[in-house]
Amino acid sequence: MHRHNTVEEYLAVVPEPARTTLEKVRATIRAAAPAEATEVISYGMPAFRYKGALIAYAAFKDHCSLFPMSAALIAQMSVELAKFSTAKGTIRFPSDKPPSAALIRKIVKARVAQNEAKKK
């Protein structure tokens, strides 16, 4: 496993079709997250931070994953996430079939609200 210092370095070694999928996921998250959100590599994966960990994403051999960093949110959105394989902290999807931009935006907005509520 490579150690990547930037999101660009991470994405550069991701094979297609996962790279294009993750670039779309990244752009959707960036557009939905507050302007102050920062991109980092966390636990070896691209992630966004905003008042704490916000959301991460990664490519694996047979799928890609979104990590909303909130088991409660995954449980709360179980109906919307029904067609994906989910676990306590992850939403798995085929490398060429990411969740819709609308669903990703909804997850990001919910996470922003969770983090803002936590910081009050």
pLDDT (0 to 100) of residue 118 = 87
Q: Which residues contact 72 (CB under 8 A, 6 or more apart)?
A: 114
71-89 per-position pLDDT tens digit: 999 999 999 999 999 998 9
pLDDT level of residue 119 (50, 70, 90 thresholds): low
Domains of the chain: 7-113 (3.90.1150.200)
pLDDT (0 to 100) of residue 88 = 86
Q: What is the DSSP string of 55-119?
A: EEEEE-SS-EEEE-S-HHHHHHTTTTTTTSEEETTEEEE-TT-PPPHHHHHHHHHHHHHHHHHHH
28-77 per-position pLDDT tens digit: 999 999 999 999 999 999 999 999 999 999 999 999 999 999 999 999 99
- Within 13 A of 67's CA, how many CA atoms are on the CB side? 17
The Cα–Cα gap between 86 and 47 comes to 18
pLDDT (0 to 100) of residue 3 = 79
pLDDT (0 to 100) of residue 2 = 60
